Amino acid sequence: MKTSSLIISISACLVAYTLPAAAQQEAEPLFQSNSTVDIQLSTPWRDVQRGDEDESWPASLTWTDENGQQSTLELTVEQRGKSRLEKCSVPPIKLKFDKRVKVEGLFYQQKSLKLVTHCKNPEKWQQYYILEMLAYRIYNLVTDYSFRVRPFEITYYDTERDKAEDPRFAFVIEDDKAVARRHGLEKLKIKKTTPARLDPVEASRLALFQMMVGNVDWSPIIGPDDGCCHNVKLIGLDPETDPIIAIPYDFDATGLVDAPYAEPNAFLPVKSVRDRLYRGYCAHNATLGQARSELISLRTEILALFDNESRLNKRSRKKALKYIESFYELLNSDSEFEEDVVSQCRG
């Protein structure tokens, strides 16, 4: 029996190790659609760019709903993302909503949102963040245990200079607590965990997806600081007795995006972020067959994400499709899958 067939047959025996059934809830209004929202975000932008991560600035968010009704919401903005702050002239932003203000409509239930903005001004930089948004969309197809995203077309208005920039592409990311609520689970705050505690099917989906998009900068069991984890959030119930779900985020350093500032980890055997390396755990090899089959069945839908994204230019679309197709060549080859995936697992 081939290794890949053995994996599939073993995975069928693991159905007992699954998350308890939970009532599914709808996503919050902001993430129930993929349509682009036109907004104006007003704040003293030069102060935000020159400030520190621990500062916050008053801001207002103005948008028009489906009925043509304009709404304005007061909030604050903060910088986030240490690595991008070192490379980018425009910092990634966190939108913080006032808990004392009742928000209805599009931003109902929102408390805090990560906003992925352009890094520098040239038009080409927009392509990188469109591709990063599509990485999230790929994982939405792979599993509903994933962060949803919503594209914005933002007019950045500087309140100090009374000046607005031309609209630019950006997107917001669903909060981890909201993902947990959708599945009747909770956000977990633990310092570390082990591969054995991770839900094996979801862990296999995660590892193969990360390999697909060319991401080696992640860990679902430990983080660089005191908390868990690295570019992954954990949700579940009791982390000591119930399976843990690891949800990835932050894909700007992937081979799919191939941003100019992205560099491979010097401690890993890759020379470029475009090089793929499987970073899954041997403890989950038995469920790799299922995750592999699922990804193969999703090929048409995944490729369609790039074909249907009108904001991608011809060069970016062609490069991205070629990169994804090269992964499917690996998935469809039993020998390559055994050599480059199964035998490369971490102990």
The domain segmentation of the chain, as residue ranges, is 11-19+184-344, 35-178
What integer pLDDT is reported at residue 105 of this predicted model? 87
The pLDDT of residue 64 is 86
Contact 221, 265 (CB under 8 A): no
pLDDT by 10-residue block (mean), the chain, 347 residues: 40 42 73 95 91 88 85 92 68 87 86 88 86 98 98 95 92 96 96 96 98 97 87 96 97 95 90 97 98 98 98 97 98 98 96
Amino acid code (one letter) for 307: D
DSSP H stretches of helix in 64-164: 82-87, 124-142
Strand, coil or helix: what is 79? strand
What sign for the dihedral angle of Cα 178, 184, 189, 193? negative
- Whether 71 and 88 have beta carbons less than 8 Å apart is answered as no
Q: What's the pLDDT at 225? A: 77
Q: Dump the DSSP string for 29-65.
A: GGGS--SPEEEEEEE-HHHHHHS-TT-EEEEEEEEE-
SS3 342: helix
Given this model, what pLDDT does residue 24 score? 64
- pLDDT at position 306 is 98
